[in-house]
Structure 1
Amino acid sequence: MKLVAVSAGLSSPSSTRLLADRLAEATRAGLDGDVEVRVVELRDLAVDIANNMVTGFPSAALREVIDAVTEADGIIAVTPVFTASYSGLFKSFFDVIENTALTGKPVLIAATGGTARHSLVLEHALRPMFAYLRAIVAPTAVYAASEDWGGSGDAITDTLPSRIERAGRDLAGLMSGLSGTAKRGEDEVVPFAEQLAALRKS
């Protein structure tokens, strides 16, 4: 299986890249068999993404990354929080991907920020975006504030390592359930008579 982690961190080293790496490792640990893991740093493709937005044509390097993402069995998408939302670079990358290319694709969403006050970015920005793209978003999303690295959690919030582990298990479960299936296009319509027959059997 192929797992691609997309990191929109701008600095090097980057806490966003570190979170992407740890989520990828947790997902790999939850999968049986060989898993090919690739981490994509969007900052290396910033100019290519901007040019694609203007011209409508991706460079060879960007096309190769887009193909890797759309052909993966699972995706980890991690962004830093800018102005209470995902970064422009993160959004621009997913904007240049055809909006049906992620249909039925398992996606784990995550974000990093300086304060826990921005943790709802996962629910008000990232989850709706991937729902629009008709991806299957893992139930556990991970937000890592500065104090989470090395923090001990509290009575309500688990530690960052435990959240990463749970999110990795979620994505691994989705990938295992969907791997080997045909690529999904438009939703298949089940005839009404067939639906009734299934109800009678149960």
Structure 2
Amino acid sequence: MKLLGISGTIVGAKTRILVEKVLEEAKKLDPELEVELLDMKQYDVQFCDGRDPSTYTGDTKTVIDIVSSADFYIIGTPIFQGSITGVLKNLFDLVHPQALRHKVMGFVANGGTYQHYLVIENQLKPIAGYFRAYVAPGYVYAHADHFNRQNELVDEDVLQRIRNLAEEVVHMQKALKAGDIHAYS
């Protein structure tokens, strides 16, 4: 099983830190798990222009292939202007909806206000619903205050939510794999 962590931003460090922490906790729960981090900072991705995803080339094709080949996901975004990043939205637009169908998604986000956690509820979960993905019941939202000056997560409640999210996505993925939900699609 391949768990892909997506850091859906090209600026800052906190989103990647959150995603990496969940991947680390998932690996502790199941050492056989294959984990990979897709850091969007490392790729020069084209804007989606509505064409068939298989016709893109270069970094754009690489990113589409990485996302499409994963079995389940931890998807992270900072919250800018009360919304997910354009980078993450563009990634969702590039990937064929069938590639995400019946796959487990867990969400992490970070922002500068305590109310921005609502972006997970009001934007990310509906997008997952469109893809007909399975969404972990919990998620992690971290405020800038939850990190120290070295960008280390120091808030114990956030760290516990990270452990809980890792447990949920691993459990859900194993249960779906055991039940072979894809046989019914």
After TM superposition, the score normalised by the length of structure 2 is 0.86
Query: Counterparts in 2 of 1:68-83, with a 5 A limit?
Result: 68-83=66-81
1: CA distance, partners of 2:168 / 2:155: 23
- What is the CA deviation profile of residues 103-159 of structure 1, one whole-angstrom value per residue up to 9, with x for unaligned ones? 10011011111121211111001111111110101001111111123235xxxxxx1
Runs of 5+ unmatched residues, structure 1? 153-158, 189-202
- What is the CA deviation profile of residues 23-48 of structure 1, one whole-angstrom value per residue up to 9, with x for unaligned ones? 111122222x5111110111333x42
The corresponding residue for 1:98 is: 96
Give the match's secondary structure for 1:77: strand
The corresponding residue for 2:150 is: none
Q: What is the CA RMSD across the aligned residues, in angstroms?
A: 2.1
Residue type matched to 2:9 in 1? G
The corresponding residue for 1:200 is: none
The corresponding residue for 1:23 is: 22
Residue type matched to 1:162 in 2? Q
User: Which structure has the bigger radius of gyration?
Assistant: 1
Give the match's secondary structure for 1:110: strand
Percentage of identical aligned residues: 28
Runs of 5+ unmatched residues, structure 2? 148-153
- Cα distance change, pair 54–127 in 1 and its aligned pair in 2 (3 A): closer
1: CA distance, partners of 2:42 / 2:50: 18
- Cα distance change, pair 54–70 in 1 and its aligned pair in 2 (3 A): closer
Does the CA contact (< 8 Å) of 1:2 and 1:37 recur in 2?
yes
- Cα distance change, pair 180–73 in 1 and its aligned pair in 2 (3 A): farther
The corresponding residue for 1:48 is: 45
1:89 is the counterpart of 2:93: no
The size of the alignment, in residue pairs, is 177
2: CA distance, partners of 1:182 / 1:171: 16
1:7 is the counterpart of 2:7: yes
Per residue, is there more helix in 1 or in 2?
A: 2
Give the match's secondary structure for 1:120: helix
2: CA distance, partners of 1:24 / 1:184: 24
How much has 1:82 moved relative to structure 2?
A: 1.1
1: CA distance, partners of 2:110 / 2:58: 30
2: CA distance, partners of 1:55 / 1:135: 22
After TM superposition, the score normalised by the length of structure 1 is 0.79
